[in-house]
Amino acid sequence: MTNKQIIANKLCYTELVYQRINKKLAMNFTKVQIERLIYHVVVNADLVERRGKNFYIYNNQNRVVVTVNVNNNRVITVNKM
């Protein structure tokens, strides 16, 4: 199993992050749609970079960067590239 798969399988979310992701991406996804999107982005990432306490997961195809906490694998935010 690759690091990307390990991270993807351990992802967790808060209620606030679902709202934040929809706002940042200017979408109105359901929780399930967000979780599928983030899983797909992480598994197909072009680069996973650890800086301090966060992973920055870059996916050029979807043109997004997912920020994940290293300690608890909680999704913090998603930004457009």
Query: Could you report the per-residue pLDDT of 8-65, keeping only the tens digit for each?
Result: 999 999 999 999 999 999 999 999 999 999 999 999 999 999 999 999 999 999 999 9
Question: If residue 44 lies in a helix (H) or strand (E), which one and from where to where?
Answer: none
Domain 3-80, CATH among 2.40.10, 2.30.29, 3.30.1360, 1.10.3470: 2.40.10
Query: Could you give the CA distance from residue 70 to residue 28 in angstroms, rounded to a whole number?
Result: 27
Per-residue confidence (pLDDT) for residue 18, from 0 to 100? 97
Instruction: Give me the residue spans of the domains in the chain.
Output: 3-80
Per-residue confidence (pLDDT) for residue 14, from 0 to 100? 95
pTM value? 0.92
Per-residue confidence (pLDDT) for residue 56, from 0 to 100? 98
Q: Edge-to-edge strands of the sheet including 54-59? A: 47-51, 54-59, 64-69, 75-80
Query: Could you give the CA distance from residue 17 to residue 15 in angstroms, rounded to a whole number?
Result: 6
Which residues are CB-neighbours of 53 under 8 A, at least 6 positions away? 69, 70, 71
